[in-house]
C-alpha cells in the first residue's frame, strides 16, 4: 500500500486544553475548600464502626414492636396521609401539567405563570413545606397531609409534564380542528394517550409518599415518623431499629407491588 501524500506524516499530539485543566483545578480547589467547611473527618469512618453506641440498638424488642398501638396504628395513619396526599396532589397535578406544557396550555400567560410558580414550588425542599404546615396548622397528621399534597403535586407535575410534552400532538390537533373547545379537546385528544403514564406516575408518587411520611414525623407531622422521633428522643434506639426494619419491609413490599402494577400499565 503506497501511502498517498499526506498520509505518511503523523499528526501532532493534541495538548490538553487550558480550559480543561482550569476547570478541573477549580473543581478540585472548590472541593477541598468545601470539605474543610463541612468538617471533613475521615477518622469518622472508623469511629462510626467502633462506637459503643451501636450496642444500644440491640436487641430488638419485638414484643413492643408488634404491640398494635405502638407501630400498627401509626402506620395506618401514615397510609392515610399518603393516600389523601397522592389523590389530592396528583389530581391537582393534572390540570397544572396541562397548563405547563406548550402542547396543551390554554394561553400564554397561563403557561408562563404555571411554569414559574411550579419552579419555585419545586425549589422549596420538601420538609420545609412540612415545617411550614406544622407551624401554620399545628402538629399532627393534618399538617402532614397538606405538606405531602404539595410535595406530591411538585413531583407529579415534573413527571407528568414530561410525559405530556412527549405525547403525540396529532389527535389533539384533530380534536381542535373538529371545533372542540379547550377542555373537551384535551379530554379526547390527549388524555387517553397519557392516562396509563399518569396512573403509573401516581403509583410511584404514592410509594414516595409512604417513604416521605416516615420522615415527616421527625418534624411532628404525624404518621410513623412521629413515633420514631419520640423513641429517638428517649434514646430507645433498639425500638428505633425495630421500627426501621418494619418500615423497610413495608416499603419494599409496596415497591414490588407498585413496580408490577406499573409494568402492566406501560
Rounded distance, CA 64 to CA 208, Å?
Answer: 27
**CB of 47 or CB of 67, closer to another protein:** 47
**CB of 182 or CB of 211, closer to another protein:** 211
Of the candidates 240, 245, 247, which has an alpha carbon nearest to the alpha carbon of residue 207? 247
All three cell numbers of 8, joined, read 505518511
Rounded distance, CA 29 to CA 203, Å?
Answer: 43
Where do we find the cell 400567560? Answer: 109
Least distance to another protein, CB of residue 59, Å: 17
- Between the CA atoms of 116, 121, 124 and 127, what dihedral angle is there, to the nearest 10 degrees? -170
Least distance to another protein, CB of residue 24, Å: 6
Least distance to another protein, CB of residue 10, Å: 6
**CB of 92 or CB of 215, closer to another protein:** 215
**CB of 96 or CB of 194, closer to another protein:** 194
Least distance to another protein, CB of residue 93, Å: 15
Least distance to another protein, CB of residue 106, Å: 20
Of the candidates 124, 173, 175, 169, which has an alpha carbon nearest to the alpha carbon of residue 151? 124
Q: Which residues of 14-33 are buried (b: 16+ CB within 10 A; e: fewer)?
A: eeeeeeeeeeeeeeeeeeee
Contacts with 218 (C-beta within 8 Å, 6 or more apart), sequence order: 127, 225, 228, 229
**CB of 53 or CB of 108, closer to another protein:** 53
**CB of 97 or CB of 225, closer to another protein:** 225
Instruction: Quickly count: other Cβ atoms within 10 Å of residue 188's Cβ.
Output: 15
**CB of 68 or CB of 107, closer to another protein:** 68
Least distance to another protein, CB of residue 243, Å: 10
Query: Residues 35, 38, 39, 42: is their CA dihedral positive or negative?
Result: negative
Least distance to another protein, CB of residue 159, Å: 14
Amino acid at each position: 500500500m503506497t501511502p498517498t501524500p499526506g498520509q505518511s506524516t503523523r499528526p501532532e499530539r493534541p495538548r490538553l486544553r487550558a480550559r480543561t485543566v482550569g476547570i478541573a483545578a477549580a473543581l478540585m480547589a472548590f472541593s477541598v475548600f468545601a470539605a474543610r467547611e463541612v468538617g471533613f473527618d475521615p477518622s469518622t469512618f472508623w469511629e462510626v464502626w467502633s462506637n459503643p453506641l451501636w450496642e444500644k440498638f440491640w436487641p430488638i424488642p419485638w414484643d413492643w414492636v408488634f404491640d398494635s398501638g405502638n407501630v400498627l396504628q401509626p402506620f395506618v395513619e401514615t397510609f392515610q396521609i399518603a393516600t389523601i396526599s397522592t389523590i389530592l396532589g396528583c389530581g391537582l397535578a393534572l390540570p397544572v401539567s396541562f397548563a405547563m406544557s406548550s402542547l396543551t396550555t390554554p394561553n400564554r400567560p397561563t403557561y408562563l405563570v404555571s411554569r414559574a410558580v411550579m419552579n419555585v414550588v419545586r425549589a422549596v425542599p420538601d420538609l420545609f413545606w412540612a415545617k411550614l404546615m406544622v407551624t401554620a396548622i399545628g402538629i399532627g397528621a393534618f399538617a402532614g397531609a397538606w405538606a405531602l399534597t404539595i410535595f406530591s403535586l411538585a413531583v407529579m407535575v415534573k413527571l407528568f409534564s414530561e410525559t405530556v410534552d412527549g405525547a403525540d400532538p396529532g389527535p389533539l390537533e384533530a380534536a381542535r380542528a373538529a371545533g372542540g373547545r379547550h377542555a373537551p379537546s384535551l379530554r379526547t385528544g390527549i388524555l387517553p394517550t397519557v392516562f396509563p403514564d399518569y396512573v403509573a406516575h401516581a403509583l410511584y408518587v404514592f410509594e414516595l409518599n409512604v417513604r416521605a411520611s416516615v420522615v415527616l414525623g421527625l418534624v411532628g407531622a404525624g404518621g410513623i415518623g412521629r413515633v420514631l422521633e419520640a423513641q429517638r428522643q428517649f434514646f430507645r434506639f433498639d425500638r428505633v431499629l425495630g421500627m426501621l426494619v418494619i418500615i423497610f419491609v413495608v416499603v419494599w413490599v409496596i415497591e414490588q407491588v407498585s413496580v408490577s402494577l406499573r409494568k402492566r400499565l406501560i
